Amino acid sequence: MATDPDLAVRGTVTDDEMRTLFAAAWGGDADTTWSPILARSLAWITARRDGTLVGFVNVATDGGSHAFLLDTTVHPDEQHGGLGTRLVRAATEQARAAGAEWLHVDYEPHLTGFYAGCGFRPTAAGLLQLDPPPQAAHG
C-alpha cells in the first residue's frame, strides 16, 4: 500500500461502518450500537484509508490509574502492515496523557507476539462470565 491509513483520536464513526469492519475482521453479524459504548470511553482511535474505516481501537478507564484496551480491529486487507501497532501505540498515548498508570489488554493466545511487540507482558488474570440479571417479579 502506498500510504499509511490516517489515524484520528475520537474519530467519527457510524454503527454501519463499525459493523462492516468487525464483520470483515471477525466474521458474524453483530448488531452493536456503538454510541453508548463510545460515550463512556476514555478515547478511541479510528484508521481510515480513502475515507473507509479500516481500523479501530477503544480505550476504557476505571477513572483512576487503570485503562483498558478493547476491540483492537484491523480490516484483513490492512493486516500485517503495521496498522494494528500504530493503533495500539496511539491508544497507549491517549491513556498515558489521561493519567493512566497501567494499560490492560486481554487477548487470545495467537496474539501474544503482537501484544508483546507493543510492549505488553503476559499476566495472570481472572474472568467470570455473568448471567443476565433475573427478571423482577411483577405482582
Q: Is residue 139 part of a domain?
A: no
Per-residue pLDDT tens over the stretch 25-55: 999 777 889 999 999 999 999 999 999 999 9
For the segment 59-68, the average pLDDT, to the nearest whole number, is 94
* pLDDT-based confidence at residue 137 (cuts at 50, 70, 90): low
Q: Is residue 85 part of a domain?
A: yes
- Contacts of range 14-18, beta carbons closer than 8 Å, 24 or more positions apart: 17/53, 18/53, 18/56
Q: Is residue 122 part of a domain?
A: no
Q: How many folded domains does the chain comprise?
A: 1
**Which is more confidently placed, 30 or 128?**
128
Confidence at residue 97, expressed as pLDDT on a 0 to 100 scale: 96
Mean pLDDT of the chain: 92
**Which is more confidently placed, 136 or 51?**
51
Domain hosting 93: range is 6-117
